[in-house]
Amino acid sequence: MLSIIQAAGWPIWPLVACSILALALVIERFISLKTAKVVPPKLLEEALAVSRNAVPAPDVVAQLSQHSALGEVLASGFRAINSDPRCTEADLRATMENTGRAVAHRLERYLSALATIASAAPLLGLLGTVIGMIEIFGSQAPAGGTTGGNPAQLAHGISVALYNTAFGLIVAIPSLIFWRYFRVRVDDYLLTLELSAERFVRHLNTIRGR
């Protein structure tokens, strides 16, 4: 691999940096977007059960909000009721929606960076290709009054062009695939959060009406 990088010349180094950054982002998103950290399967039912008769104590609410994105949204509804038992349904929804927007922003973190890498990597590869072509044409320029090109310079220019083109695609294609995968995963999570929040609002209005 090192020999390939050396043969590709300096234009490949930005692509190497992009590949390292893309790998780090993919690993980070896999860790952060685990289902247990976003929408634990039984959390909504547990929150409904613990508040069947009344809003739980603040320490229970704080514990609910610590471990998942869904917990944060549900806990914001509890806090709204605890701070103002007479708050309107519109205020309750607004509080949970604001928390949901903050959670959505966190779930979408770094996806734009991954998309940028997927878009920029082929362009960086094209830049390396152009630089390689420039070296090829430069090697064909007459030198010392003689005609003909430098075969070594010609070979180097071709390797720079081809290696950079290939490496740009190697970086861009997985980045695009993972960006699309994470985008769909986040959209699914956001839909689950929205439906759970809607059900929870109705539940809170029910226990307040008792």
Does the predicted TM-score (pTM) go above 0.95?
Answer: no
- 120/15 Cα distance (integer angstroms): 9
3-state secondary structure of 146: strand
Instruction: Give percent of the chain with pLDDT exceeding 90.
Output: 51
**pLDDT tens, position by position, 96-129:** 999 999 999 999 999 999 999 999 999 998 888 8
Residue whose entry in the numeric block shows the structure tokens 């390292």: 20
Instruction: Give the pLDDT confidence score for residue 156 in this predicted structure.
Output: 66
Instruction: Give the pLDDT confidence score for residue 22 in this predicted structure.
Output: 96
Residue environment code for 165-191, b if the CB has 16+ CB neighbours within 10 A, otherwise e? bbbbeebbebbbebbeebeebbeebbe
142 versus 79: the higher-pLDDT residue is: 79
- 193/187 Cα distance (integer angstroms): 10
Q: Is the pLDDT of residue 148 over 70?
A: no
Contact 41, 35 (CB under 8 A): yes
**pLDDT tens, position by position, 12-26:** 888 999 999 999 999
Domain edges within the chain: 2-208
Lowest pLDDT segment from 12-21, 130-139, 161-170: 130-139
Residue whose entry in the numeric block shows the structure tokens 């949204």: 73
Contact 47, 65 (CB under 8 A): no
